[in-house]
Structures are given as C-alpha cells and as structure tokens.
Chains A and B, each alone.
Chain A
Amino acid sequence: MLKKIIHIFFLPCSKATLLMEKRNAKSISPKENWQLSMHVKICKWCKAYQKKVEILDSILKKKWFGEEEVDINTAEIQNFKDKVFRKLDF
C-alpha cells in the first residue's frame, strides 16, 4: 500500500534512482530535487539505495583516475613502440 502511495503521489523507484544520478552530477532541477527528497523520505528501499549510490560514486571517483591496474608488461609495450616506429617509418 505504501509503495502504491509513493508511486502515485511522488514518483516510482525506477525514476527516483535515475534522479539520483542527476543529483550526483549536480544536473538535477529544483523540482526533481524536491520530488526525489520527498520520495527518499518515505521509501526505505530508495533511502538504502541512495546511500549505496553515494558510496559507489565516491569509490569510483577515487578509483578510476589511474590505470595502474591494467595488465600490460614491458615487453608488450616495447613491441608496441617498435610497431609504431615501423608504421611511421622512423
């Protein structure tokens, strides 16, 4: 029943979770922001999810500035350089 009320008066969870992405990127309109806040106040699922969105966002922001996890070795890099030198006729 509560789920239904949320759905009718505010917005469905499937939309609320989309608005979270917009809010995260600071691209949310004031109206959408209000709708999302009201939704999260009364929906425990989206409230829990929002917390996880924030955690994931913060983790991904920290994680993906570097590429050091990429698996490539010195020999492969050297091979590549040689290939490009040949290609460009250096």
Chain B
Amino acid sequence: MTKNETLKNWIEQYSESLLRRAIYLLSDKVEAEDIVQEVFIAAFSSYDSFEGKSKPLTWLNTILNNKVADFYRKKYKSEPYIKLDHFFDETGSWKNDSVLNDWNVSNQESELLDNQDFNKSLEDCIEDLPSRWKIPMKMYYLEEKKAPEVSQELDITTTNLWKILQRTRMQLRECLEINWFSKS
C-alpha cells in the first residue's frame, strides 16, 4: 500500500475514535476537529518515522496527546494559582461539615456507574470544572497515565498537578454531594 492509501485508510478507520477522544479531552467540537485534522497532517508528514512497531491508532493517539498538550500549553502559559479558600479556613481546616455526609456506596461503585442518572450528574459536574483543571485531570485518568508524565506533557510542575487534582476532586465531591448524594 502506498503512503496515500494507508493514510486514507487511517482517516476512514480512526477518525471517529480520535474525534471522540479529542472532544472528550477538550470539551469543544470545533477545537477537537481542528486538532484531529492536525493529527492526520502530522501523521502524513512524519509517516516515515512510523515504523509499524505500534498499532497505527496507538501512534495517532500519541500524536493527539501531544497536540492537546500543545493546545493547553499555549492557552495557559503561566503556572496555575490554585485557591482552596472555598473549602478551608485560614488555619487550613474544613469550613463546613458537608464532607461528613455518608455516601453509603462502599464497594458499589460499579453499580453507581451503571446508573444513568448518576452518570449524568457526574458528567455535568466534570464539565462544570474550568478547562484549565479539567484537561489535566482527564489526561491523568485517560489510560491511567502517571503524574510525572502528564505534568511533563503539559509543562506544569508535578506539585501543581497534585494541586489541580486535589482542587478538582474537592469540587467534584461537593458537586456530587449537592446534585446526587443529597437527593438520592
């Protein structure tokens, strides 16, 4: 197969998967389409460096990750400043007791994920996060990447990645508390 034929095949076969991943990471269809298009252009121009050692989709996903990281670095040039004063007082203690509410879900996480309403609440809570935090969190959980790897890709310090994860999780916890656990 010639290079053009192979690329054509890849576009046919892998566009959907790449688009889904990009939309998920960026929460923006237009941005995602632009980036996946760039992925194919990059794959075309560096085709010779693809030696067939990995599966084509794995290679394309790696290019996509790099493109998303580029996008993130360009958009957020400075290190993030993460405030926790919504949750903690000046001594660093919890401001309110809502964290004590019992979720009552020990060992039933899978059941929660089977519940459509819960999934909807979770997705809404995630989409409510600012994209500056959302993108690192999603990259961290996608393929269970390691923190140093993600922070290197996004050009933030590992310490800041911990802070981002801490802050997003605190917000998710509170959001789910309000929108799901206190209602169910």
Known: A18-B162, A56-B169. A70 touches B24 (CB 8 A): yes
The chain B residue sitting closest to A8, CB to CB, is: B91
Q: Is the CB of A77 within 8 A of B16?
A: yes
Q: Is the CB of A3 within 8 A of B37?
A: no
Q: Is the CB of A81 within 8 A of B11?
A: yes
Which B residues touch A53, using CB under 8 A? 169, 173
CA distance A58 to B100 in the complex (A): 19
Which B residues touch A64, using CB under 8 A? 24, 138, 141-142
Number of chain B interface residues as a range? 35 or more
User: In chain A, residues 53-90, which have Cβ atoms closer than 8 Å to a Cβ of chain B?
Assistant: 53, 55-65, 67-72, 76-77, 80-81, 83-85, 87-88, 90
A4 within 8 A of B: yes
CA distance A53 to B36 in the complex (A): 33
Number of chain A interface residues as a range? 35 or more
- Can you list, as one digit per residue, whether each of B144-184 has a CB less than 8 Å from chain A (1) or not (0)? 10110000000000100011011001101100100000000
CA distance A77 to B14 in the complex (A): 10
Which A residues touch B36, using CB under 8 A? 80, 84
Q: Which residues of B contact A (CB under 8 A)?
A: 4, 7-8, 11-12, 15-17, 19-21, 23-24, 29, 33, 36-37, 40-41, 44, 84, 87-88, 91-94, 97, 99-101, 103, 105-106, 109-110, 112-113, 119, 122-123, 138, 141-144, 146-147, 158, 162-163, 165-166, 169-170, 172-173, 176
Q: Which residues of A contact B (CB under 8 A)?
A: 3-4, 6-7, 11-15, 17-18, 20-22, 25, 27, 44-46, 48-49, 51-53, 55-65, 67-72, 76-77, 80-81, 83-85, 87-88, 90
